[in-house]
Amino acid sequence: MGCCECFGFTFAKKPKKVVRPSRGLPNDTSQEFLLDEETGDEEDDSYDGDINEMENGGESDFQSPTKRSEEILRQRVQCGLICREVPVKETHSVLRSEDENGNKMVNEYVRERKIGAGSYGKVNLYRSTLDGKHYAIKVFHKSHLLKLRVGPSETAMTDVIREVLIMKVLGHPNIVNLIEVIDDPTTDHFYMVLEYVEGKWVCEDTGPVGSLGEDTARKYLRDIVSGLIYLHAHNIVHGDIKPDNLLVTSSGTVKIGDFSVSQVFEGDNDELRRSPGTPVFTAPECCLGVTYHGKAADTWAVGVTLYCMVLGSYPFLGETLQDTYDKIVNNPLMLPDNMNPLLKNLLEGLLCKDPTQRMTLDDVAQHEWVVGGDGLIVEYSCWCKRNNLEKIVTAESETYAQT
């Protein structure tokens, strides 16, 4: 990562103006947008957009890794670097019908109700007539995705394609699993069939309603960190870590979902330009319209999420969009005097405004408050690494046998 000057500001002085990559929004944008960009409850076939646009400018300004994401991901697939033992099912025909009770059906799935909204489409609860299980299905309209521009040469369809490709290679207990993709070239509908995770821990409506307590917050944070370390190790930046994208199973396991604004990079080059997800979870270096490092921005969002879990509020929230970004960049972090000193130290490290001094996820995993009485977070042995190791061991055994 570069020094502070690389991001266009110093931390001791207040900049004259905070510039945020344009979303075409006025400065008096309501707090509802600052907290949650999801859409309202409408009919299943209607469409809501939630666009995360790049800063205005030509493509030559910065060669973002997102412009090569599909190529990078396809290369990984060709090399067998897939963390899934069971591949995602691909279906190229769709039958939209109704069951005997008049419920809408998509192939073998029966619609029960709407359960949310993703960045570009609805999320509905369906039940499979084959195995009786529930699934969360994202419903998109391809014609709308192709019309929505999110960059000089990218549409929302680019984001959805990248989300599918990313989820096709992922396999981790703390990440929502993609089961099937339904894409019939003769229809306008596109479906992502995901495992159904029962609920969210807070932020069901407009924001945190109360703290979870340190023990629960620690448990959830350990799951979040485990999943995010895995993503970063596979050169994926989530880009929108927040409570609404963290789902909790009936057994209390947190799973990271919604990869619609995620980015893929090669090597250590996680430098990005496109603005990340939700305003109140945005890192200071992302508020200035210049390049930033995706992993450090994800880590900041983890800090805001932890703050929400333990305090039931946001660390930096203004009356307007501009005011919020100004507070994120300039206001000091305020924590209660009676807070657990270890937790306070962790929050200060995560919410350090200087990305070069901010705690890394590895630091977080070893922090005394996170370790608690549960011990160090166990490193997940992913399928692609195990598969690769098996190939190396086999090759070495064959070489040894020949000598």
The gap from C-alpha 207 to its chain's centroid, in whole angstroms, comes to 18
Shortest CA distance to 64 belongs to which of 274, 293, 284? 274
Contact 199, 27 (CB under 8 A): no
Gap between the Cα atoms of 12 and 366, Å rounded: 29
CA distance 316 to 327: 6
Q: Is 123 helix (H, G, I), strand (E, B) or coil?
A: strand
Catalytic residue among 223, 240, 258, 326: 240
Query: Scanning the structure block, which residue is given the tokens 């340190």?
Result: 214
Place of tokens 């073998």: 108
H or E segment to which residue 135 belongs: strand 134-141
**Catalytic (active site) residue 240:** yes
Half-sphere exposure of residue 45, counting CA atoms within 13 Å on the CB side? 7
SS3 content of the chain, % helix, strand, coil (to 5): 35, 15, 45
Residue 200 annotated as binding site = no
- Residues making up the binding site for ATP: 138
Report the catalytic residues: 240
- Residues making up the binding site: 138
